[in-house]
Amino acid sequence: MIERGIHAFRGKGVLLLQGPVGPFFSRLAHDLELAGATVFKVNFNAGDCLFYRRPAFSFKGTMAEWPAWLEALLERLDIDVLLLFGDCRPIHAAARQVAAKRGLEVGVFEEGYATTVNAAQGATVDLAYVRDAVGLKRDQVGVMFSRHREECRSDRRGRSSRRSTPAAFEACAWCVEG
């Protein structure tokens, strides 16, 4: 979808779920509309309402009610694409299951921090933590696990691992090979 950039969304119905703190999703909605998409948003809490000051749906039900509520909304709005921030939040995990059942495209935004192995270009941290929920490339794993002083942690598809500094490159190999 992204090969054509934002214009790939032209003529598509896009539903935004929970976004990052700040105006990013509001700005994204504006840009998607300029590109020709029809954009809708679901707010879940006061923070969503604070940063998304455009018309939106508000979900106020329980987690048990969420999949059916979402299914009905997707049907009513004729949604093609679901965009969300953080694929492991419970509301988003359930939404991804509903979207998969309907054959919808799902785009996930994640926060990611990595520094280079060159000390002049990045910082070393005491603790490195990498969450590999949506997949990392080998070179990204190496960089991310090489910039810690004391310990690096990985939560790789539900398996947690802790490695001390002497085992830094062993941790890289574990994550890349596993």
pLDDT, residue 173, reads 35
**pLDDT beyond 60 at 90:** yes
Q: Give the residue extent of every domain in the chain.
A: 2-109, 125-177
The answer to whether 133 and 87 have CB atoms below 8 angstroms apart is yes
Report how far apart, in Å, the C-alpha atoms of 77 and of each of 1, 18, 31, 39, 110 are. 20, 18, 19, 10, 26
Tens of pLDDT, residue by residue over 53-88, are 889 999 999 999 999 999 999 999 999 999 998 877
The answer to whether 98 and 71 have CB atoms below 8 angstroms apart is yes
pTM: 0.65
Q: How many CB atoms lie within 10 A of CB 123?
A: 9
pLDDT, residue 96, reads 93
pLDDT, residue 154, reads 55
Q: What's the mean pLDDT when you consider all of the chain?
A: 75
Long-range contacts of 20-25 (CB under 8 A, 24+ apart): 20/85, 20/109, 20/111, 21/47, 21/51, 22/51, 23/51, 24/109, 25/51, 25/52, 25/85
pLDDT, residue 7, reads 86
pLDDT, residue 157, reads 46
CATH 3.20.20.70 is held by the domain 2-109:
no
**pLDDT beyond 90 at 16:** yes
pLDDT, residue 110, reads 74
Mean pLDDT of 36-44: 96
Tens of pLDDT, residue by residue over 97-126, are 999 999 999 988 876 655 444 444 455 555
First to last CA, the chain: 29
Task: Return the closest-CA partner of residue 26 out of 58, 45, 54.
Answer: 54
Q: What is the CA radius of gyration of the chain?
A: 19
Report how far apart, in Å, the C-alpha atoms of 17 and of each of 55, 72, 96, 138 are. 13, 15, 11, 30
